[in-house]
A and B are shown apart, each in its own frame.
Chain A
Amino acid sequence: MAQLGRAILLLDLGVCIYGIAASVYGARSRRRDWVDSGRRAVYALAALSVIAFVLLEIAFVRNDFSYKVVANTSSTTIPLFYKLTAPWSSQQGSLLLWVTLSSLWSTLALYVTRRRLREIAPYATAVLLVMDGFFVSLASFAANPFQTTPAASTPSDGAGLDPLLMHPSMMFHPPMLYTGYTLMAIPFAFAIAALITGKLSSEWIRDTRRFALAAWMCLGLGIVLGARWSYTELGWGGYWGWDPVENAALMPWIICTAFIHSIQIQEKRGMLKIWNVSLVLLFGTLSIFGTFLVRSGVLDSIHAFGASTLGVPFVVLLAVMVLGSVGLVVWRRDQLRSDYRLDSLISREAMFLLQNLILVAITFVIFWVTLFPLISEAITGTSVSVGPPAFTPFVVPLALLLVLITGIGPLIAWRRATVANLRKQFIAPVAFGLLVTILVLTLTDAARKPLAVVMFGFGAFVIGTVVQEFFRGTAARRALTRDAWPVALIALVRRNRRRYGGYTAHLGFVVMLIGVAASSSFQHARQAVLRPGQTVTDGGYVFRYVRPTESVSPERISFGAIIDVTKNGGQVTRLHTIQSYYRATNAQDGFIGQFFDVNNADSTIGLDAGPLRDIWTVAAVDRTPLVPQINKDDKFFETHYNEMLRAALKLPKPEQESALNTELAKTDFWTARDLAVEGIAASYTKRPYPIEFQLIVSPLVTWLWTGALIIFLGGFISVVPPGLFGGRRSPAPERSRVAVRELV
């Protein structure tokens, strides 16, 4: 089947080339048949890519270690769930996933627009196929997931999946990121097509807005899942480390956030055309830039695939995207001039513009600091590393300003506002913001972190704004319909999904940032080496190491620790943290040592999450005290194995393997080895030794995850098609005539 997979990839490439040619020819000759044929090439690409991906998944599920990618990233002992996720843990498999997702979304976009955007769509098809063709080429010639090893050298078991990737988030985190990235290609392709054809009205924006919104939601969800993975799996207690790959995902998301706000100005007022098209081109390019960082290995990151030869092709693609985008915008600058100007600086569109500028400034800061090590190395020859302190002095003030604008924007009407109206709108939210600030300053010791206090105050102001908006909107609705409050609220949101979906997202955004500000400013963290029975205090809580735990399974050996947490003498929670060692396939580790490989280990944190604080702990179980016994047993089993091997080697070659296996079975060699492993594991609990713990008490972390969920609820409200929640509409001709009577 590997042959079939390789052939399908080549067929994919052929389909891409044909589709590009057919679409461009159809567009230039204005032949519908060729345009339709080009579009169908995208459908065919999607179908073929899905088949190829299914073939790869089958290879993983069947433990077909003749596939190099299966041998390198899977094994017989990992659970089925992780076998299914293992394809995207490798460069090769993730490229195929990219092509599959990209072609599926392209198919959806082109199907939806098949009767519209007739002049733009063929060029958009060609652009999408160029990008898909690029990834298919990489998957075919540079990192082929269907590469195999000869039968003679096929291993009996694989190297296994990196234990850090064996986390439920991994099922969804990479596919969500890729979905976000690949969905961003759709507005990008239509923007390029609109620039090529000169059809620069708001039509293409209107038809691709939902894809931009879906990209924003999926990429955001992917980022949050990654943060959750970092918090619960990486064992450092944080959720965001300003890692280059994390930043690479954040940048297009921020620009997309700017876009989904500023397109409203173009749709309503015909303004900001250059700005909007530039934002689309920017987030499309940044999504490829993020992929470049992950796949090229130019920057150190825990999320990257490591060093590879894919950097150069990506640099070429990025150069084409950047130069092409800039060239097209400059070429069409006259047609991109705004139809109107701002009526007033005190208007919602002015606030949107200011918000956009702040978002772009944040992106610029992140881009510059992320790339600083590369720039520094190019100029000085010395590699430097940058961490959170390099980002926060710039990002935090900008984020505060952004939160403030998030609160102000919804209080101002489109087009213009009067002082009397503004006063009426601002009184309650400002009062609420001030009240929360005063309460925080008087009831807590937060004054030592003034920026966090400002964030709480601004956050409360935004929450006040959103609550007021919902309240006044519902009250206005009730005044018209006399519905009950819940009915009026639902009707209000249903009729104004974009507005109230947006407000919901704003609410989630500030809830999240309040969580970030609190957890990063007021975290109590300490490390302590404890024996069973010993205690340590952190953040007002007493941590007592109760006892060690151990468990042995075919998949892993786990050493754990039970910790009781008390406060003022009362039990708060009991935590269980575990460090697991997964069996390594490296024979040099020894018969016993391969079960205790430090390079093949992960940690399970002990976490008690609450609405106001998280208590987080991880144990760094040092296996050093076990090493003498491991080495001794390794030597013992190696000696016996070598004796049996030498005896077998004296026999004719065809009989050697079966003779060795018979002898191993007769002596219960493997059973004895397993018992020895269990014995060593058991000694961890029989003769407990001191363990180093990391203990963290962090406030409002749950607000971060809750805020993210609220953001996606808001995005969902905005993105769902009107028909999903709306009633049946009258036929178009009838509707327009009725509407004329109502309007005049």
Chain B
Amino acid sequence: MPYAILLLLLVAVVWMVSAPLRRGLAGQSYEDSHEAAAVMRHIDLEAARDAKYREIRDAELDHQTGKLSDEDFDAIDSTLRAEAVALLHELDAVDESEESP
């Protein structure tokens, strides 16, 4: 009985780890997968955008709770927003390239 279970487990493990090799992914590299690279870039940009939003929210909250003076807030906020806009434009560009055939 233990041998039968072990054999079953062995087959299951081999089947599981070899699935990508059997599934026709063979030979596909990161660079080959243009779509995958675009998706990855999109995910990275989204994360960078979210981080920038967080920074903007933090600065707003610091200002609203009296930690930042109006002048300091204006300077920081405009810098952060410009950075965020650049990220969003980049994100749009990636989206458009994904949509185009």
Contacts and interface: CB of A to CB of B under 8 A. Distances in A.
A268 B58 CA distance: 10
A320 B30 CA distance: 31
A64 to B, nearest CB: 14
B13 A32 contact: no
A736 B49 contact: yes
B40 A118 contact: yes
Given A31-B27, A32-B33, A116 B40 contact: yes
A457 to B, nearest CB: 23
Interface in B4-62: 5-6, 9-10, 12-13, 16-21, 23, 25-31, 33, 36, 39-40, 42-44, 46-47, 49, 51, 53-59, 61-62
Contact of B85 (A206, A732, A744): A744
Interface of B is mostly: helix
Interface stretch (A281-289, A415-423, A604-612, A684-692): A415-423
Interface string A10-44: 01000100110010000001111110110011011
Contact of A1 (B2, B18, B72, B84): B2
Interface string B58-101: 11011011111100100010000100110011011001000000
A115 B17 contact: no
A740 interface: yes
Given A44-B17, A736-B92, A743-B88, A414 B59 contact: yes
A122 to B, nearest CB: 10
A414 B57 contact: no
Contacts of A415: 72, 76
B33 A268 contact: no
A4 B29 contact: no
B57 A473 contact: no
Nearest to B26: A33
Contact of A37 (B18, B43, B64, B68): B18
B25 A32 contact: yes
Nearest to B91: A736
Interface residues of B, number: 57
Interface residues of A, number: 63
Given A414-B62, A736-B92, A743-B84, A3 B2 contact: yes
Nearest to B77: A743
A22 B17 contact: yes
B88 A740 contact: yes
Contact of B61 (A15, A473, A739): A473
A113 to B, nearest CB: 10
Contact of A499 (B9, B43, B53, B58): B58
Contact of B16 (A7, A34, A43, A469): A43
A443 B101 CA distance: 78
Contacts of A148: none
Contacts of B33: 32
A202 B55 CA distance: 15
A72 B69 CA distance: 68
B30 to A, nearest CB: 5
B32 to A, nearest CB: 8
Contacts of A496: 57-58, 61
B67 A743 contact: no
A203 B16 contact: no
B17 A34 contact: no
Given A36-B25, A37-B17, A119-B30, A413 B92 contact: no
B70 to A, nearest CB: 10
Contact of B20 (A40, A47, A413): A40
Contacts of A70: none
Contact of B13 (A15, A412, A733, A743): A15
A268 B55 contact: yes
A472 B65 contact: yes
Contacts of A43: 16
B17 to A, nearest CB: 5
A413 B72 contact: yes
Contacts of A44: 12-13, 16-17
A470 B20 CA distance: 50
Contacts of A206: 47, 51
Contacts of B53: 739
Given A119-B30, A412-B67, A414-B59, A268 B72 contact: no
A165 interface: no
B13 A11 contact: yes
Which interface residue of B59, B88, B95 has the most chain A CB atoms within 10 A? B88
Q: Identify which of B65, B85, B89 gathers the most chain A CB atoms within 10 Å of its CB.
A: B65
B28 A41 contact: no
B10 to A, nearest CB: 7
A417 B76 CA distance: 12
A192 B97 CA distance: 33
B92 A737 contact: yes
Residue with the greatest number of chain B CB neighbours at <10 A, chosen from A33, A48, A469, A495: A33
Interface in A190-211: 202-203, 206
A31 B19 CA distance: 14
Given A203-B44, A744-B81, A31 B39 contact: no
A1 B4 CA distance: 12
Contacts of A11: 6, 9-10, 13
A495 B57 CA distance: 9
A476 B64 contact: yes
A206 B26 CA distance: 30
Contacts of A203: 44, 47
Contacts of B64: 472-473, 476, 479
B67 A417 contact: yes
B13 to A, nearest CB: 5
Contacts of A202: 51
B43 A116 contact: yes
Given A11-B6, A203-B47, 17 more contacts: A11-B13, A19-B17, A32-B29, A33-B20, A33-B25, A37-B17, A37-B21, A41-B17, A44-B13, A44-B16, A44-B17, A268-B51, A268-B58, A732-B42, A736-B92, A736-B95, A739-B84
25 contacts: A32-B29, A32-B33, A33-B20, A33-B28, A34-B21, A40-B16, A44-B13, A51-B9, A115-B36, A116-B44, A118-B36, A412-B67, A413-B68, A417-B68, A473-B65, A479-B64, A499-B58, A733-B95, A736-B49, A736-B91, A739-B53, A739-B88, A740-B85, A743-B85, A743-B88
- Among all A-B residue pairs, the 4 with the closest Cβ atoms: A476-B64, A36-B20, A413-B67, A33-B25
